[in-house]
Structure 1
């Protein structure tokens, strides 16, 4: 998973909000054709929080079938551990390879509780777990040491971008423990994360412009600072500025950009909202600029 951009596919919906499984399969096929390091269906970008269990089963099953063992399939689970377990069992039956444990619902919790959440889930599923610290979940060093000793917990995805804290965690990790940069629009901070030992990252841009995502990944890998800087300055930074206009745009803009490119992903589900006409026009401008940089067409 550390050798390629991590794909977090969008979940396709019809205009009436119902699941569009054919559209989702088409989107998956396009994602897999670009060679991602792993596929993470039904996670944050895939609107896990809006799926019922049957929809979740169909989404994860489709991802496993379309992938056909080419790359790992890591399904999202969330809420409290008992509800997360219900989704974990569905993912097990569907053939997922691992689980990304999304932040629990609503309440703040002490460090002991954060550890217990993973302990309870790990004891009840055979699938490896990747903890996701974001929102109200943030592990201190002592709690982190404890979760690395939980059988089945294999990694941590970080969405806080607190590099001081993250460096402390990487220095206290077992040698084979996995770390992932899970910041929103992770490419913006990819260099900084790599500097503290976390080069692997998830890319929301890969869901709508894998040409751009792969060009940036290659530039980082090859030490091509000129190309990386140009992509950051002329595409990623304007995209982030647009993303920050409205809560939820981290997902809504990704789906809108995919639709601009003719991908059958449909609208977002409430409580998210699709971009305004003004923001959509600005998105088209940003996307066109990014594609021009890598020689691709809208």
Structure 2
């Protein structure tokens, strides 16, 4: 599985008025995103509320995304949490036609490095899908553990959601020694911090040039404008987008835990697609915060013109 050039798209999971997954709305959401040329589609992951989906909903979500994408870019399904659940998510993602897995951390329980390695290898044994590791929360790979996992035939990448640049530098130096030119091509690396654009200048400084974009889910025009400025070296344009759109979005996101997902879903609704609200323990934005988000959407669209 190789990700394409472009921003990585993490769609939300729509819910209908009865609170059930709405596959037809998801199909429209994914189709709208595909019109803006993402480098991959990550279904039922963090932005897609993996934590709140049961197994049938997870499979339905992955299958709906896969049918829309139809092989144009890789579709990566979320998996994680309790080991037995993650293994079943891996099996059904393969049945649903996913091209790979994004393996989120195990739920609540922390463990030593060998335990984390065992968790990954156990999930890898459940399907034939390649796995992108997700480093965040209680899962931070030491250099030896990451080298061991990177040598696994089905581990193909690392999404970093920790932002620990000292650790990242040590990880990248070791991976470059092991993988050479394969690092970044055969083994994908990308910034997965919330509102990843905001930290991309720092990530690029250590050689990580790809990122996932929550903003792409509701403002693909802005996400692609930032991508073009960043990749093209237009520092003034990049700084304008960071200053006028991304910095205020980050400030708003930090007001309430879980807004990294709730604001994205609200943004999709503001753009005209009724994807419903978020499931507990997340909460939807307050009226005041929703008004601030609406203003930010207007600013973003103005900047993207």
TM superposition score normalised by structure 2: 0.95
**Residue 265 of structure 1, CA deviation:** 1.4
Alignment of 1:256-267 (within 5 A): 256-267=266-277
Partner of 1:160: 162
1:243 aligns with 2:253: yes
Contact 1:122 1:151 in 2 (8 A): no
**Residue 20 of structure 1, CA deviation:** 1.2
Could you tell me how far apart the structure 2 residues matched to 1:119 and 1:55 are? 25
Partner of 1:53: 55
Alignment of 1:1-298 (within 5 A): 1=3, 3-173=5-175, 174-175=179-180, 176=182, 177-295=187-305
Q: Which moved more, 1:214-223 or 1:144-153?
A: 144-153
Question: Any idea what SS the aligned residue of 2:275 has?
Answer: coil
Could you tell me how far apart the structure 2 residues matched to 1:115 and 1:45 are? 25
**Residue 148 of structure 1, CA deviation:** 1.1
**Residue 19 of structure 1, CA deviation:** 1.1
Question: Any idea what SS the aligned residue of 1:154 has?
Answer: strand
**Residue 124 of structure 1, CA deviation:** 2.7
Could you tell me how far apart the structure 2 residues matched to 1:103 and 1:134 are? 7
Contact 1:133 1:156 in 2 (8 A): yes
Corresponding residue pairs, total: 295
TM superposition score normalised by structure 1: 0.97
For structure 1, which runs of at least 5 residues remain unmatched after alignment?
none
Contact 2:88 2:126 in 1 (8 A): no
**Residue 2 of structure 1, CA deviation:** 5.5
Could you tell me how far apart the structure 1 residues matched to 2:289 and 2:171 are? 38
For structure 2, which runs of at least 5 residues remain unmatched after alignment?
none
Question: Any idea what SS the aligned residue of 1:281 has?
Answer: helix
Contact 2:160 2:191 in 1 (8 A): yes
**Residue 82 of structure 1, CA deviation:** 2.2
Could you tell me how far apart the structure 1 residues matched to 2:9 and 2:158 are? 17
